[in-house]
Structure 1
Amino acid sequence: MSSSTFTRDQFPLVHRLRVRWAEVDAQQVVFNGHYLTYLDVAISEYWRATGLPYPDAWSALGGDIYARGHQLAYHAPARLDDWLDVGVRTARIGNSSITVEWALWNDHRLVTTGEAVYVHVDLATGRPASVPASVREQIAAHAAGAAVTRLSLGDWATWQSDAMRVREPVFVVEQQVPASEEIDDDDPLALHAVLHNIGGLPLATGRLITAGQPPGEARIGRLAVIKAMRGSGAGRQVLRALMQAARAEGAHTVHVHAQTSALPFYLAEGFEVSGTPFDEVGIPHVAMVWRTPSA
């Protein structure tokens, strides 16, 4: 492993983190064992970026991955408040094993390099199992810079099952919205968007309602992303697809009742606050609107 020649551009995922006080030892440098924690943080981001959020994507395929071995080499120390860049890539995939190479830099200095071997295990048997073809495809697509997700638009009859695989854990379980209020009369009338990974796992969803709205207006709602994919851009993909569909139907004004925690997300996409905060199903919301420049 010629790891000392690693450069950032060799890694499809580079995650930045900052050294904390608790990670520095009596020698005033990062304690050696913490570098595996840095790897663990970065590899979680790597799986998210490949469209294989851990553990959701793996358990959906009936499996999990377990660390089998690590090799590390230390090239320079890291200290309190240093910004560290951790690069991660899949070096090779065997029958049941996945070998990951990683490197960590502080600015231009190579600090640590390593190799980690994971074994894919069948959850039903507890035994090593072949790495699924869809996992191999996700990793290859990410390494090539290709899309690792697929977005579909359609009616409720087509996408109810997949949409609810996102909405139920987000709204009913996580946010404790009554199940009786989660599905409503607008669902059969709406256009639904569902974002999947290549293997077909639903990652995010949302809906567009034009029926019953004033001419040229539409409403977007039920936008949800599974917890493990938040911050990945999945929600933005769904929102932009629904906005494009709204414009295609002639809408110049789009309304949304946004949870106040999502206010920065909608503001970044061109929405404006159009009302005062209010409570909806026990969660603070605010009315927002998007208008075309000529509307």
Structure 2
Amino acid sequence: MGGGGQEIHSDPFSFPVRVYWEDTDAGGVVYHAQYLAFMERARSEWMRGLGLGQDLLRSRDDLVFVVRAMTTDFRAPARLDDQLQVSVRLLECRGASLVLVQRVERDGALLVEASVRIAALRASSFRPCPIPPALAASLALLVETA
């Protein structure tokens, strides 16, 4: 991948998350901002699973991916001690951005869904930049249809 010749596989990605006290309000319901943290962890693990850890991208390609925009639909609450699955699907890979869909589910029931636009930035300047061609080509193989 990205010069290393590593293959990227398009298996569906899902990351398990357990709900702890620190994730909830006084009623034991997950605080809305915690879903963003759960989704960030899942995106990071998805990238790491592709062989694209954030440290590697920063040191090798002077590249970081950051959230530029997010639309979130909260459908049902998660509660203390729930076991959740947070999924990541790549819908678009453009010159300098990605669009992902993320879902938070409990026992197959959808709790939260988000559309996430990710921007590519130079790590050294935090200015927008194109995704390196080899990386973009590899990520394009993962694009799914909605």
2:112 aligned partner: 112
The letter of the residue matching 1:94 is R
Per-residue CA distance 1:229-256 (angstroms, 9 max, x = gap): xxxxxxxxxxxxxxxxxxxxxxxxxxxx
What is the CA–CA distance in structure 1 between the aligned matches of 2:141 and 2:133, rounded to whole Å? 12
2:5 aligned partner: none
What is the CA–CA distance in structure 2 between the aligned matches of 1:66 and 1:48, rounded to whole Å? 15
In the TM superposition, residue 69 of structure 1 has moved relative to its aligned partner by 1.4
2:73 aligned partner: 73
SS in 2 for 1:130: coil
1:126 aligned partner: 126
The letter of the residue matching 1:104 is V
Q: Is there any run of 5+ residues in structure 2 with no aligned partner, and where?
A: 1-9
- Residue 102 (str. 1) matches residue 102 (str. 2): yes
What is the CA–CA distance in structure 2 between the aligned matches of 1:118 and 1:46, rounded to whole Å? 14
Task: Quickly say closer, same or farther: Cα 1:19–1:124, change in 2 above 3 A.
Answer: closer
CA RMSD across the alignment: 2.1
What is the CA–CA distance in structure 1 between the aligned matches of 2:141 and 2:57, rounded to whole Å? 16
1:47 aligned partner: 47
1:84 aligned partner: 84
Q: How does 1:118-267 map to 2 (within 5 A)?
A: 118-141=118-141
In the TM superposition, residue 18 of structure 1 has moved relative to its aligned partner by 0.5
Counting matched residue pairs gives 135
Q: Between Structure 1 and Structure 2, whose CA radius of gyration is higher?
A: 1
What is the CA–CA distance in structure 2 between the aligned matches of 1:76 and 1:11, rounded to whole Å? 27
Per-residue CA distance 1:13-46 (angstroms, 9 max, x = gap): 1111110111110232100010000001111110
Task: Quickly say closer, same or farther: Cα 1:100–1:71, change in 2 above 3 A.
Answer: same
Task: Quickly say closer, same or farther: Cα 1:125–1:108, change in 2 above 3 A.
Answer: closer
In the TM superposition, residue 141 of structure 1 has moved relative to its aligned partner by 4.5
In the TM superposition, residue 105 of structure 1 has moved relative to its aligned partner by 0.4
What is the CA–CA distance in structure 2 between the aligned matches of 1:11 and 1:112, rounded to whole Å? 21
Q: Is the 8 A contact 1:52 1:58 kept in 2?
A: no
More helix by proportion, 1 or 2? Answer: 1
2:56 aligned partner: 56
TM-score where L is the length of structure 2:
0.82
Task: Quickly say closer, same or farther: Cα 1:124–1:29, change in 2 above 3 A.
Answer: closer
- 1 or 2 for the larger relative contact order (CA 8 Å, sep ≥6)? 2
The letter of the residue matching 1:67 is V
Q: Is the 8 A contact 2:99 2:116 kept in 1?
A: yes
SS in 2 for 1:55: helix
In the TM superposition, residue 137 of structure 1 has moved relative to its aligned partner by 3.1
What is the CA–CA distance in structure 1 between the aligned matches of 2:108 and 2:123, rounded to whole Å? 42
Q: Is the 8 A contact 1:50 1:139 kept in 2?
A: no
What is the CA–CA distance in structure 1 between the aligned matches of 2:75 and 2:11, rounded to whole Å? 19
TM-score where L is the length of structure 1:
0.43
In the TM superposition, residue 125 of structure 1 has moved relative to its aligned partner by 4.4
Q: Is the 8 A contact 1:72 1:114 kept in 2?
A: yes
Q: Is there any run of 5+ residues in structure 1 with no aligned partner, and where?
A: 1-9, 145-295
2:7 aligned partner: none
Task: Quickly say closer, same or farther: Cα 1:50–1:143, change in 2 above 3 A.
Answer: farther
In the TM superposition, residue 55 of structure 1 has moved relative to its aligned partner by 2.6
SS in 1 for 2:65: strand
